[in-house]
């Protein structure tokens, strides 16, 4: 399998190169030249296998320059080393209304990002070796909260790597901040940015694509890579969990072979929902995809109008991992759906950069609407939903998942189709404890650890070990910088002035 850049179809790289580089030098994202298709027999063959075994088989379709043995080593290390609290890695829970929650947060940092970031370091270190460089990899990551911690946990003390994480100073939950500030490891660094997530992401992108900086790194035996969902090595593990979820639903008799279902995904950077779309292209019988947002509703507007317009107020919400105005992975969807029209992508994403907007026209918009719908919910609706689901089912939902459940319920009420609905459940509710406790009527006047105990008292749900432990961990990283000082901070930390 070869990979092209969304901004240059003539550029062809191997999967190892795509993963090692993270983002193409032309600013585009790497996409597979074709999308492998699975037959009924292929799905059948995945039954009875562990998650790690399924993942290795599916990775082999995309990461063709990795040997089966290497892939098995990677999936074993990521999914079978005890870092996930459930042996099946992911769980499917059914609510009283029949909707199905695909719980993707049983990993070490309590958010779905672990599904990909527990394996990315293993891909990346092998990819670097395959591409013939012995450079130290410097992972530079902008985070709206969950990516950063999951990346830090994945890369902690991985030989040959260093990782630097930037997060918006006032844009993450107190638990997320704690998780990052207490990160252990010799090769890690965390820094707050005075700005929002888009400021962090733009700062990181600018550092990445700065030729001066790249030269400086090369002279010092280093190279950048990315752990953000722009890296193909993060997207492909996400495709795996949708394929695996379908196989598990067949095994459990929740679906019959070939029976269609819908998927709702609480969305920010468009990575998770794009993975569901790839799974659909591969042959998972997905009928419709519902893209759920908080009041940063740029994607809802885009799906409705065909106009992507980031010129709007940024809102901090109780679902901070979706507080995003630039959804990078949309570029991959548009590249595929325009028949790999790189010139068109350059034009649109050039306009996004210079004017903050682009218009895809009605023809493509209609085709997108045939596969996707969008909906958005504010914090009030999100909290009400959490309270309602808890009252009806005794089930605690985190704030992001709650946005998804709102959208799924609205879709089911309105839509003519009656297909089962699978909702991606993206974080453990304890990770956003204050908002969740408030939503179920608890008193939130307490520190984050007292909030955990109060939530446990009311719900009976076990506090994840990784969060309970934070209380006794040393706070290591408390610094913050302005966006225009990020590059200097990187140089200083790496000692390459």
Ligand X SMILES: *Cc1c(COP(=O)(O)O)cnc(C)c1O
Asked if 269 touches ligand X (CB under 6 A), the answer is: yes
Q: Which of 90, 173, 267, 296: binder of ligand X (CB under 6 A)?
A: 267
Q: How many CA atoms lie within 13 A of 439 on its CB side?
A: 28
Per CB under 6 A, contacts with ligand X among 242-261 are: none
CB of 173 to ligand X, least distance (A): 10
Smaller CB distance to ligand X: residue 4 or 400? 400
Strands 91-94 and 307-309: unpaired
Measured CA to CA, the distance from residue 258 to residue 243 in angstroms comes to 13
H-state helical runs in 306-398: 330-337, 342-355, 361-371, 379-393
CB of 272 to ligand X, least distance (A): 4
**Torsion from C-alpha of 33, 38, 42, 43, nearest 10 degrees:** 130
Asked if 24 touches ligand X (CB under 6 A), the answer is: no
Token pair recorded at residue 4: 């092209």
Asked if 22 touches ligand X (CB under 6 A), the answer is: no
CB 262 within 8 A of CB 424: no
Which three-class secondary structure state does DSSP give residue 240?
helix
DSSP secondary structure of 387-420: HHHHHHHS----HHHHHHHHHHHHHHHH-S----
Name the segment binding ligand X (CB under 6 A); options: 76-84, 262-270, 343-351, 438-446.
262-270
Q: Which of 322, 326, 368, 423: binder of ligand X (CB under 6 A)?
A: 322
Per CB under 6 A, contacts with ligand X among 58-117 are: 111, 113
Asked if 266 touches ligand X (CB under 6 A), the answer is: yes
Q: Which of 107, 195, 268, 442: binder of ligand X (CB under 6 A)?
A: 268
Q: How many CA atoms lie within 13 A of 241 on its CB side?
A: 34
Q: Which of 272, 296, 300, 397: binder of ligand X (CB under 6 A)?
A: 272
Name the segment binding ligand X (CB under 6 A); options: 199-207, 264-272, 306-314, 475-483.
264-272
Per CB under 6 A, contacts with ligand X among 140-159 are: 146
CB of 282 to ligand X, least distance (A): 18
Smaller CB distance to ligand X: residue 70 or 398? 398
CB 168 within 8 A of CB 201: no
C-alpha closest to that of 152 among 186, 112, 103? 186
Name the segment binding ligand X (CB under 6 A); options: 81-89, 263-271, 345-353, 453-461.
263-271
The site that binds ligand X (CB under 6 A) totals a number of residues, namely: 16
Backbone angles phi, psi at 89, to 5 degrees: 70, -55
Site string for ligand X, 393-422 (x = CB under 6 A): -------x----------------------
Smaller CB distance to ligand X: residue 14 or 297? 297
Asked if 231 touches ligand X (CB under 6 A), the answer is: no
Measured CA to CA, the distance from residue 64 to residue 57 in angstroms comes to 11
CB atoms within 10 A of CB 442: 18
Measured CA to CA, the distance from residue 156 to residue 186 in angstroms comes to 7
Q: How far is CA 239 from CA 36, 90, 233, 262, 264, in A?
A: 12, 13, 11, 15, 15
Asked if 229 touches ligand X (CB under 6 A), the answer is: yes
Name the segment binding ligand X (CB under 6 A); options: 14-22, 123-131, 254-262, 269-277.
269-277
Smaller CB distance to ligand X: residue 71 or 291? 291
Site string for ligand X, 425-454 (x = CB under 6 A): -xx---------------------------
Backbone angles phi, psi at 463, to 5 degrees: -75, 130
CB of 402 to ligand X, least distance (A): 10
Smaller CB distance to ligand X: residue 113 or 177? 113
CB of 187 to ligand X, least distance (A): 23
Smaller CB distance to ligand X: residue 143 or 223? 143
Token pair recorded at residue 277: 């779309």
Per CB under 6 A, contacts with ligand X among 106-135 are: 111, 113
C-alpha closest to that of 270 among 196, 331, 357? 331
Asked if 179 touches ligand X (CB under 6 A), the answer is: no
Q: How far is CA 230 from CA 198, 201, 283, in A?
A: 14, 11, 23
Smaller CB distance to ligand X: residue 6 or 144? 144
Q: Which residues in this chain contact ligand X in the complex, by CB under 6 A? A: 111, 113, 146, 229, 266-272, 321-322, 400, 426-427
């Amino acid at each position: 399998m070869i990979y092209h850049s969304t901004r240059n179809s003539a550029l062809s790289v191997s999967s190892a190169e795509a993963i090692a580089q993270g983002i193409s030098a032309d600013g585009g994202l790497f996409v597979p030249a074709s999308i492998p298709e699975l037959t009924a027999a292929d799905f059948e063959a995945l039954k009875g296998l562990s998650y790690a075994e399924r993942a290795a088989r599916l990775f082999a379709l995309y990461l063709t320059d990795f040997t089966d043995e290497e892939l098995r080593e990677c999936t074993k290390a990521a999914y079978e080393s005890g870092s996930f609290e459930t042996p099946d890695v992911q769980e499917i829970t059914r609510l009283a209304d029949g909707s199905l929650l695909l719980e993707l947060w049983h990993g070490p940092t309590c958010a779905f990002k672990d599904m990909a970031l527990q394996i990315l370091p293993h891909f990346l270190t092998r990819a670097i070796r395959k591409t013939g460089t012995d450079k130290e990899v410097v992972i530079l990551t902008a985070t709206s909260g969950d990516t950063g911690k999951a990346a830090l946990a994945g890369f902690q003390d991985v030989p040959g790597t260093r990782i630097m994480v930037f997060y918006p100073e006032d844009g993450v939950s107190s638990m997320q901040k704690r998780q990052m500030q207490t990160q252990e490891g010799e090769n890690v660094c965390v820094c707050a940015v005075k700005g929002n997530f888009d400021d962090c992401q733009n700062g990181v992108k600018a550092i990445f694509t700065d030729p001066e900086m790249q030269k400086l790194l090369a002279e010092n035996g280093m190279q950048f890579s990315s752990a953000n969902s722009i890296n193909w090595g993060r997207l492909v593990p996400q495709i795996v969990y949708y394929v695996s979820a379908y196989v598990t639903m067949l095994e459990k008799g929740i679906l019959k072979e070939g029976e269609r279902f819908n998927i709702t995904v609480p969305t920010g950077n468009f990575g998770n929902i794009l993975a569901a779309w790839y799974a659909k292209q591969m042959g998972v019988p997905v009928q419709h995809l519902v893209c759920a947002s908080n009041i940063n509703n740029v994607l809802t507007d885009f799906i409705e109008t065909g106009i992507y317009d980031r010129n709007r107020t940024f809102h901090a919400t109780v679902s901070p991992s979706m507080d995003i105005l630039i959804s990078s992975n949309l570029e991959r969807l548009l590249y595929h759906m325009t028949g790999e029209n790189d010139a068109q992508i350059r034009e649109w994403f050039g306009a996004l950069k210079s004017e903050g907007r682009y218009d895809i026209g009605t023809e493509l918009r209609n085709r997108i609407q045939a596969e996707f719908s969008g909906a958005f919910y504010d914090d009030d609706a999100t909290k009400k939903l959490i309270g309602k689901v808890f009252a009806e089912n005794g089930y605690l939902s985190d704030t992001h998942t709650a946005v998804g459940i709102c959208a799924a319920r609205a879709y089911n009420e309105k839509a003519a189709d009656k297909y089962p609905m699978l909702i991606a459940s993206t974080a453990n509710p304890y990770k956003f404890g204050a908002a969740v406790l408030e939503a179920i009527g608890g008193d939130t006047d307490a520190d984050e650890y007292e909030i955990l105990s109060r939530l446990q008292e009311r719900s009976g749900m076990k506090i994840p070990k990784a969060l309970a432990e934070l209380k006794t961990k040393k706070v290591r990283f408390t610094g913050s910088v302005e966006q225009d000082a990020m590059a200097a901070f990187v140089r200083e930390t790496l000692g390459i002035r």
